[in-house]
Chains A and B, each alone.
Chain A
Amino acid sequence: MALSGLEMYKLLPKTNCKECGFPTCLAFAMKLAAKQAELSACPYVSEEARQALAAAAAPPIRLVSIGTDPHKVEVGNETVLFRHEKTFYHEPGIFLRVRDTQEPATIETAVREALSYSVERVGLALGLNGVAIENASGDPEAFARTVQQVRALTQKPFILMAEDPAALKAALAVEGGKRPLLYAATSANWQGMAALAKEAGLPLAVRDGDLSTLADLTEKIKAAGVEDLVLDPGTRGILESLHALTALRRLALKKNFRPLGYPIITFPGEGAEDPLDEAVIAAEHVAKYAGLIVLDHFSPALVYPLLTLRLNIYTDPQKPIQVSPGLYEIGSPGPQSPLMITTNFSLTYFTVAGEVEGSGVPSWLLIADSEGMSVLTAWAAGKFDAEKIAKTVKQFDAASKISHRKLILPGYVSSLLGEVEDELQGWEILVGPREAVDIPNYLKNVWRP
């Protein structure tokens, strides 16, 4: 947690020597608190003060990165409990788990299918982040063979899961140097795990079902020289994990409790009743505070909604995803093609554009600046009214592209029909469907130039 200017002042020499460029130590402290000055400007600051100030400047939840570019996953460094307070920054990495006891052919199919998976939403390609490989056999050689096999299939990051540091060491020799997460240090093996993580310079997960013991472990491991940690509070059920993850997030943000100020890894499949239930628990973890989510099942029908939820929850509430206002061509429209108008909320744009494209009827799609709001929201907020619609038609000179004078409004604003007719003299205003899914039928069967 950041220190106030006065707290920083207490750590300074209080000699007012002015060598930092500020008239007094207090003035310098205020600038430090406002992040307008660097501590290094003070030649006399004590080592103790330097450490205290550096610690205070560190984020309450450490940023941990796994993997290498372009597949790097960064998690942690969150600053709020509720997304409306600011935003959630680093969306949880979603991994698929395989085990070294599975047939190589089964592993290959699972990894290929899951990691080549990509689904498009609002112009973004969504997919899984990497693979968790578990040493279920207990045999370091079998583990290394599986890790080597999976590395040949993908360059995406790994979570290497074993109880025995020797097995992880064997796997690291063939992993390919892609900065995997080591899982996991426990009360039983933490010395060996910490030594390995330190030597390899890799992030390390720490697991214990008791938060006090977990905090003790992270402190010991940190003292042993490993700072990039990830927490597994050991809970698996839908209720228990909500409680544990909420407690961890609050401890980090509200109490600035450093020993538990790390991102969290979860295994929703271990507390689930079936694959959909696993996706439900994963959904809870997306909303409430997971940094890494390891799935045991991959099904496009379940991963698609889960990735969509992650996108929703991690969208910055202050900045709805928008597209630029303008006149868009869908297909290769001509002077006789239909002209439709809608808002610049990006989901609205991509949904409408997708349906128009799917209809096979080339069209002009006019996008009004609704400040990123959807049709109904924008209408309710007065950002998509008759005046705005008429202004948009003129601003982008839609008339120059078409020989007819017909404009199709979204069905949800049919009440604007009369007003738009008044604003756009000489135009015929039509009311299109309310839902985008009905656009193809409208364009094919109702629309006539």
Chain B
Amino acid sequence: MPVEIPKENWTSQVLEVTLGATPEQGGTRGRTVTVGGESTLPFLHYEGEMPHRPVVAVEVLDRYPDDWSPLLLEAWGEAAHDPVAWAAQGVANGADLVCLRLEGAHPDRDGRSPAEAAQTVKSVLKGVEVPLIVLGPGQPEADNEVLVAVAEATSGERLALGLCEDKNYRTIVAAALAHQHLVIASSPIDVNLAKQLNILISDMGLPLERILIDPTTGALGYGLEYTYSVMERLRIAALSGDRLTQLPFFCTAGLESWRQKESKVGEGVPASWGDFRERAIAWEVMTATALLMAGADILVLRHPESIRRVVRIIDRLMGTKEA
């Protein structure tokens, strides 16, 4: 009996968002990265288009991450002292983007000045040819000061700046508008709050093509199912024509999985947790895999082995490089 594979007739698609600008486009990048454009659910190539593969960004800090898991410190070694070398190694491991988090500018950390932070961004831009995502230290006043300085110093580069939240987005959006950058709109695992923030940001004049959605990522075992379902709901709404949801997803899978005890602690944990290194990498890779199934477009990861593995998983899911 002939069986016809059921296909969905989606009416719409995700917007294409391009990070980075080449010299001809007003930046200095050797290559740009475009995400989005999906007209089907993840990897269902037989029913619609997925013109751009999901990409991986390596998370790099502007300070030595002394509170990170020992496994990460071991993996990056000396490079973790130098954001330029760290970014370059991340790219050498297969990362398509660099996600630079300016934690050193946090008043409770090193309290670096906005000018210093902007200088770090410029150094990393010089060291790699891939586009950059730049995240502030995560404290509203510091975020605003630092990201404005960064936006000015890198005018035209089409960085993705974040995180914009409903209580703190105006300054960052204004800086992105003035200097041809993108922003990441972060909302707490909720379809309506995500849409509302996108309205507020686009009302300031920033085109939707310059916004990424951070749905707030929960790690495996720590709220992953909430992120997973809110992403599926947003993506189905996007494919069904809801314009304010038609933006690519930005997911901090590395940050979330590596701050959990499973990935941070090797001693004094139940024997049933198994080998520390094997478990921690599996935690990050499986968190990323589940997010890919829900529609992740940009996955920010931390461990070099996870980066290599997730790139390979994406290749196979895209059907581009079969084993």
Contacts and interface: CB of A to CB of B under 8 A. Distances in A.
B273 A304 contact: yes
Given A300-B271, A301-B273, A276 B281 contact: yes
Given A83-B225, A317-B225, A302 B274 contact: yes
A254 B5 CA distance: 11
B229 interface: yes
Contacts of B286: 279-280, 283, 305-306, 309
A280 B313 contact: yes
B2 interface: yes
A435 B290 contact: no
Contacts of B92: none
Contacts of A48: none
Interface stretch (B27-35, B78-86, B315-323): B315-323
Contacts of A102: none
B3 A284 contact: no
A242 B43 contact: yes
A299 B318 CA distance: 28
Contacts of A214: 3
Given A308-B220, A313-B228, A437-B265, A242 B259 contact: no
Contacts of A273: 312, 323
B225 A300 contact: no
B222 A119 contact: no
Contacts of A254: 6
Interface residues of A, number: 62
A55 interface: no
B270 interface: yes
Interface of chain A: mostly helix, strand, loop or mixed: helix
A376 B285 CA distance: 25
A347 interface: yes
A312 B221 contact: yes
A304 B229 contact: no
B3 A211 contact: yes
Interface in B274-290: 274-276, 278-279, 281-283, 285-286, 289-290
B213 interface: no
A309 B220 contact: yes
A251 B272 contact: no
A399 interface: no
Interface string A233-252: 00001110011001100110
Interface stretch (A255-263, A363-371, A385-393): A255-263
Nearest to A280: B289
Nearest to A288: B293
Interface in B288-305: 289-290, 293-294
B189 interface: yes
Interface centre among B188, B221, B273 (most CB of A within 10 A): B221
For this complex, into which size category does the number of interface residues on chain B fall? 35 or more
Interface string A372-384: 0010110010000
Interface string B34-69: 000000000110100000000000000000000000
Contact of B278 (A120, A238, A276, A283): A276
Given A243-B44, A287-B290, A437-B264, A315 B281 contact: no
A312 B225 contact: yes
A118 B272 contact: yes
Interface string A300-343: 11111110110111010100000000000000000000000000
A260 B229 contact: no
A260 B275 contact: no
B5 to A, nearest CB: 5
B254 to A, nearest CB: 15
B279 A304 contact: yes
Contacts of B274: 299-304
A243 B317 CA distance: 10
A216 interface: yes
B222 A347 contact: yes
A216 B1 CA distance: 6
A303 B262 CA distance: 13
Contacts of B228: 83, 287, 312-313
B188 A308 contact: no
Contacts of B6: 247, 250-251, 254-255
A121 B275 contact: no
A257 B221 contact: no
A84 interface: yes
Interface centre among B44, B279, B282, B283 (most CB of A within 10 A): B282
B225 A301 contact: no
A82 to B, nearest CB: 5
A400 interface: no
Contacts of B189: 377
Interface in A190-245: 211-212, 214-216, 219, 237-239, 242-243
A117 interface: yes
A121 B293 contact: no
A176 interface: no
Interface of A: 82-84, 117-121, 211-212, 214-216, 219, 237-239, 242-243, 246-247, 250-251, 254-255, 257, 259-260, 273, 276-277, 279-280, 283-284, 287-288, 299-306, 308-309, 311-313, 315, 317, 347, 351, 358, 374, 376-377, 380, 435-437
Enumerate the 4 nearest inter-chain pairs by beta-carbon distance, A residue then B residue, closest first: A301-B274, A300-B274, A301-B278, A301-B279
13 contacts: A83-B229, A214-B3, A239-B317, A242-B317, A243-B44, A251-B6, A300-B275, A301-B278, A304-B262, A304-B272, A304-B274, A312-B228, A312-B290
Interface of B: 1-3, 5-6, 43-44, 46, 188-189, 220-226, 228-230, 232-233, 236, 259-262, 264-265, 268, 270-276, 278-279, 281-283, 285-286, 289-290, 293-294, 309, 312-313, 316-319, 322-323
Given A82-B229, A239-B319, 11 more contacts: A82-B233, A84-B230, A118-B272, A300-B271, A300-B275, A301-B282, A308-B220, A311-B221, A315-B225, A380-B188, A437-B265
